Each structure stands twice: as C-alpha cells, then as structure tokens.
Structure 1
Amino acid sequence: MSNINHSEISHEIQPTEALLQMIVSPWVSRSIYVAAELGIADLLKDGSQSCGELAKVTGVDERSLYRLLRALASVGVFAESQPGCFELTPLAECLQSNRKDSLRGYAIKSGQVWDLQPWGHLLECIKTGKPVFENLFGVDIFEYLSEHPEAAKIYDQSMTSFSAKRIAAITAEYDFSAINTLVEVGGGRGSLLASILKANLTMKGVLCDVPHVIEGAKQLIAGEGLSQRCELVAGDFFESVPSGGDAYLLKHIIHDWDDERALQILQNCRRVMQPNTKLLVIEMVIPKGNEPFFGKLLDLQVMLNYPGGCERTEAEYQDLFEAAGFNLTNIVSTSTPLSVIEGVPAKSDRISVF
C-alpha cells in the first residue's frame, strides 16, 4: 500500500514536465483519432456506458478500448464516471458527428497516412524550404485528392466541420449588407456563400471552383433553397474568374500558394473588377510577438503539404495586395483566428510582379 501523502505533492508543472507533455502530444492526437473513427462520442450521447458495451458495438478488444478511453479521460476527453464506465465531457461532445461545429471529421483526417506522413519529414522541409507531400505521394495534395475519392471525402468532411464555427462568425461579424452580388472564388461546396446569402436576403451569389467541386456544390446550394440566387461557375482561378461581382471573396485560398501563384489569382480578380469593387481575403493573419496563435502551427502544416503555401503577416499581405494592384484598406478581426482582409483596386493600373 502506498505511503505517499498526496496532499504534499506539488501541482506546479515543472518545465521538463510541461515540455514532455508537448513532446508526447501526438500520442493524444492519435488516441482522439481512434475514438473519432470508432464513433465513441456518438455512442455515449444518451449517457454513460460500460467499456464492455462500447467494445461489443464497435467490434474491438474490451481491455484495449478501456486503456484508450482511460488515457483520453486523463486529458479531459471523456470521463470514467464509475469503474469501467465512460461518459461525455465538453471536449468529447465536440467529437459527436451531429453537431454543426463537430471536430470528428478533422480528428479522422488527422489520422490518415496522407495527413500524418509529411510530418515525419518536417526536418527535410526545413532544410530545403520545399513541401514534401509531392515527394512522398508522387503528386501534389490537390491532385492526390482528385485521384483518391475516399481521401477527398474525408478531407471535405474535415474542412466542413472545421469551418462551421468560423463560417458562423464571419457571417455574423462582418457587414456584407452593401454587397449586391458576391463572387466567391474557390468556394468549395459553397457553405460560406450559402450562409452569407441566407443572412443577406437581397444578395445574389456566384460560386466559382473547379468542375468536380462545382458538381458537389449543386446539392448543398439546392438544399439551402438558394438555386435561384446563386450561380455556379466551373473554372480555374489561375486562368480567370467570373465578372460582374460587387465583391470578390477568397477564403483559405491565398494561403495555399506561394507569392507568385497567389499573385496570379489576385490579378485575375483585379482584371474583372470595377474601381469600387471590394476584394475580401479571409485568412489567418500572423500577429507580432510570441503569443499562442493557431495560425502559427497551421503554417507548418501548410508548409509541408502545399506548393509554397504559407500563413502571412499583415505586412506580407500589404506587399501582396500592392503587387496585385490593390490597396489594402482594412483588416477586420473575428472571434475566430480568421480575419477579413479588405482591399480595393488601386487607382494605378500598373500591376507588379515578385
């Protein structure tokens, strides 16, 4: 029997222990992935269940499942309500698939080989300054997803769940009311544009993306009752974008690309814009200093996987906008890490190159 007096143990976390927790954080991430893949949070929606019941439903080994859930309970994901029985916690609730802001899809993506493997080559990426995804899989991430429908489905589901809270914040916190026609460039299935249109009843929308993505967007737009107000245009934003918008919106597009290709996208927008048309770029703007910011870590993921992509600072966006023929007029923060970076066409038609 232990003689340790637990009341005398200091709860102050020493630097070595704090760093150790960071070092083993991938273990936590992988454990969350397995729980998400098994759908444990959904199985606990009606209350506590025994590990035996959970193991029977999911078809896994009971003892191993217990050890997994015990480890997750130790970091606040699930709770052991009584010996061998587990229940949801606020963190675990975020893994339920029926929540609009569910992170189950994002957790499942984090456990895929194509998402994990590049991180094993971070040192190589740092040494060369080049993404490693194409070296590992033979094609860049966009081609990989287009060639692997199941991976694309997982990726799309993860982005949908990851974006839900951010879409709500953008729609509620940015004033779109003066825009008559909003063109979203690279808008995916149209979740953001649909949300904005539903909040601004007189607005019309144009959704532009590559053909197979636009095919997938038809169902969402129709399901939201927006088919009469939202035009779907298949195309390639490296070649052209639709004309006729009062504002052009690009969410999580520019950060995928190096300056040269980001500039090409922005210039294509600039060419079809009138003097009073707005450019709205929605990205994470890296702040100064060493305060925690999700975009600083996401920047590493982008660096590993995307062709020259990066999260940028305000000064870097200023330079990029100027080179594309825009004046950066404002940066509107939201309650999420995302900001709306506003621009208008510069009076001069001269467009620079990097």
Structure 2
Amino acid sequence: MPATPAPTPAPEPATANDPVPSSPLHDLMYGHIDTCALRAVVVHGIPDHLADGPLTAKQLAARSGTQAGPLHRVLRLLAQRGLFRQHEDGAFCLTDSGQALRADVPGSQRAAVLLFSGEAFRRSAAGVGDTLRTGQPGLDAAYGLPFFAYVSSVPDRSHLFDAAMSSLTSGANEKIVDSCPFPDSGTVVDVAGGRGGLLREVLTRHTGLEGVLFDTPEAVTGHLLDTPELKGRWSTRGGDLFAAVPEGGDVYLLKNILHDFSDEDCARVLGTLRRAVTPGTRLLVIDAVLPEDGAPPPAIALDVVMLMTLRGRERTATDFEKLLGRCGFRLDRILPTPSLTSIVEATAV
C-alpha cells in the first residue's frame, strides 16, 4: 500500500516584521513612499532616540514632538523594509541596518539620506520625463542652475553635500586603499578630494607618504586630516580643478569626479591635470566601471542619478581608455574593489 503522506505543517503566523510579498512593479510604484517615510523619521531624530534601546511609538512621540499614531504607522512600514523591528509589546528598535541612520555612529548615513531624499533630488527625479525628451538634467530645469552651482549657492546645502559624500564613502575608502598598491614614499595629491577621507586613509596606511588635499576653499576648510598620526605630512590647497591643480605630485587621485561630467568637461579636467604633471606620473581614477557586455552592473541606478542631476555618466573601460588617451594618459589597468567603484590606473605619457 502507498505510504500515507505526512501532514503538511501549518505555516508560522506572520508578524509585523515579516517582509510584505510584492512584485517589482509594486515596489517601483511605491518606492517614493518608502523614501519619504525614511526621510521623515530621520528629520525627527527617531533613530537617535532609539540609541539606548527599544521605545514605543508613544514614548518616541513624546521625545520627538510628533504624534504617536502616525509615527507608529510609519515605523511599521519601515520595519517591513528592514530598518526597524517591532517587539511583541509594541516597542520599536533599530536593526543592524537601521543603526546607520543615527547621527552619532561611525559610518552614519544620516547626511546621505537627507541629501538624496531632499527637494533637489525629488524634483530632479520628477523631471526625468522631460530629461528623456531634452537630454537636460531635471535639476537644471527646476532651479535654473547646474548642480554644483545650486549646491554651493547656500552654505547649508554645501555642508550637507560634503557630509553626505563623506558618509557614503567612509567604508569604501578602506576597500579602495586595500585594493591599490601605493609607493613607499612620495606625494599623493587628492584632486577635488572634498574633506579628505580617502587621502587620510592613504596616509594612515602608508606612513612614508605625504599628501595634498585640493578642492574648493570651502570644502577643504572642513578637512579630516588634522590627526596626530598624520602630523606634518599633509597640506591643503583651495582652487578650481578646471583652472589649475597642484604640481609636483607622484600620484594623483580623482575619486568620484569624472562621472559628474560630460566627456568634454572630463577632457578639461584631465587636460588641467596633464599640464601639472610630468611623464610617468600615476593617475588613479576611482569611479564605477560599467561592463562592456551589457550585464547589469550595480552602478545603473547611480548612472540615472547622473542623468537627472548632472551632465555626467558612468563609463566602460573602453570609454575610460579613449578619454584618458585623448588627454595624454595611458590606461594601464583596472583594479576592482569590494565596493561600487573600481580603480582606473593610468600613467602620464
């Protein structure tokens, strides 16, 4: 006789923290709701109030000046997105991923959330329909200014942008430096290096190197290089990378810069660099590198951000080879890293 099949076990009851079954279509339809909910809890400091442990929505509302009912509903949504967890008693806590929303933790992503969920990026994204027709960034149409002019026109915007870039790349800097051999001695010039997070990592790991951080005067004012272990090994220079960059370096860094610009503007930047260096000088372009075969790369979303806000784009190895070649550099190799970016290593010829 055939064996009697074992009874199918009853499914575990769903909880408030279980992911919601969804389709890619619905995820896209509702994506902006998740973004706005995330921004709301960050603006009201909810993750910071949870630093010491779980709290109910009522307790959080009392501490943050919000209303408990709406707050509970928003936190319930974000719990399903993996940033919060709701306990059986109704209290909420941060997940490991949600910890990065706090302002006081290493690698905090609070500034990045505020930047990319802010008005400028929302309006740029809303204008992508016109961008498809005109080819012009939505931000230009919304504000009548190119992106960096818009950012620099108000100090608070500029500070938020610098903080967001530092937070986004804080973990990536270690991976980049691990993936690239640097010389034992010489001078590293970080061109448009922001607050100098990458240069700090390079100098910390390679004690025989000296460094120059070059960016706008406003950016270098908030630099991160003034640490005891780097004393006497760095300097800062303010200026315009389209006009002139510091001379005399042995290695030049361009991290997440070329993808901001069109090929013509990239040629201007690289031309300025080539005039400042001698043959044999190394250039490390640190950017995402798209695959040649059309395979889905993780930088596709970033490429569309460039489309909406700037006139730049992500590039393939062939694109980089052509761009560097026309500006007096030879592409030597591309080094992958465990981050979104690769290291495009070139030499001045």
Q: TM-score, normalised by structure 2?
A: 0.90
Is residue 321 of structure 2 the alignment partner of residue 318 of structure 1?
yes
Spell out the pairing of 1:195-274 with structure 2 (5 A cutoff).
Answer: 195-217=201-223, 220-223=224-227, 226=230, 228-274=232-278
Q: CA deviation at 1:274?
A: 2.0
Show the counterpart of 2:183.
Answer: 177
Q: 1:160 aligns with which of 139, 160, 166?
A: 166
Q: CA deviation at 1:159?
A: 1.1
Spell out the pairing of 1:32-181 with structure 2 (5 A cutoff).
Answer: 32-178=38-184, 180-181=186-187
Contact 2:214–2:238 (8 Å) recurs in 1: yes
Mapped partners of 1:23, 1:192: distance in 2: 37
Mapped partners of 1:177, 1:40: distance in 2: 45
Structure 2 unaligned blocks of 5 or more: 1-8
Q: After superposition, give the CA deviation of every residue in 1:275-322 in whole Å (9 maximum; x if it has no partner).
A: 22101100011124565433111111111111x211111111111011
Q: CA deviation at 1:221?
A: 2.1
Aligned to 2:122, the other structure's residue is in SS state helix
Show the counterpart of 1:276.
Answer: 280
Show the counterpart of 2:6.
Answer: none
Show the counterpart of 1:352.
Answer: none
CA RMSD across the alignment: 2.3
Spell out the pairing of 1:322-341 with structure 2 (5 A cutoff).
Answer: 322-341=325-344
Mapped partners of 2:10, 2:79: distance in 1: 20
Mapped partners of 2:56, 2:348: distance in 1: 62
Structure 2 CA distance for partners of 1:277 and 1:178, relative to 1, 3 Å: farther
Show the counterpart of 1:345.
Answer: 348
> Structure 2 counterpart of 1:259, which letter?
D
Larger displacement relative to structure 2 (23-32 or 286-295):
286-295
Q: After superposition, give the CA deviation of every residue in 1:173-231 in whole Å (9 maximum; x if it has no partner).
A: 221134511111111111111111111111011111122222232xx222465352112
Aligned to 1:280, the other structure's residue is in SS state strand
Q: CA deviation at 1:328?
A: 0.5
Larger displacement relative to structure 2 (203-212 or 95-104):
95-104
Is residue 294 of structure 2 the alignment partner of residue 295 of structure 1?
no
Mapped partners of 1:249, 1:125: distance in 2: 31
Mapped partners of 2:79, 2:91: distance in 1: 11
Mapped partners of 2:295, 2:46: distance in 1: 34
Aligned to 1:294, the other structure's residue is in SS state coil
Q: After superposition, give the CA deviation of every residue in 1:68-104 in whole Å (9 maximum; x if it has no partner).
A: 0011111222011124311121221121222222222
Larger displacement relative to structure 2 (39-48 or 121-130):
39-48
> Structure 2 counterpart of 1:279, which letter?
L
Contact 1:194–1:224 (8 Å) recurs in 2: no
Contact 1:179–1:246 (8 Å) recurs in 2: no
Mapped partners of 1:287, 1:34: distance in 2: 36
How many equivalent residue pairs?
A: 337
Structure 2 CA distance for partners of 1:104 and 1:274, relative to 1, 3 Å: same
Q: TM-score, normalised by structure 1?
A: 0.89
Contact 1:205–1:229 (8 Å) recurs in 2: yes
Aligned to 2:87, the other structure's residue is in SS state strand
Contact 1:33–1:110 (8 Å) recurs in 2: no
Aligned to 2:286, the other structure's residue is in SS state strand
Contact 2:173–2:198 (8 Å) recurs in 1: yes
Percent sequence identity over matched residues?
30
Mapped partners of 1:141, 1:277: distance in 2: 31
> Structure 2 counterpart of 1:52, which letter?
K
Larger displacement relative to structure 2 (92-101 or 333-342):
92-101
Aligned to 2:230, the other structure's residue is in SS state coil
Mapped partners of 2:279, 2:51: distance in 1: 53
Mapped partners of 2:47, 2:66: distance in 1: 15
Aligned to 2:340, the other structure's residue is in SS state coil
> Structure 1 counterpart of 2:348, which letter?
P
> Structure 2 counterpart of 1:63, which letter?
G
Structure 1 unaligned blocks of 5 or more: 347-354
Q: CA deviation at 1:134?
A: 2.0
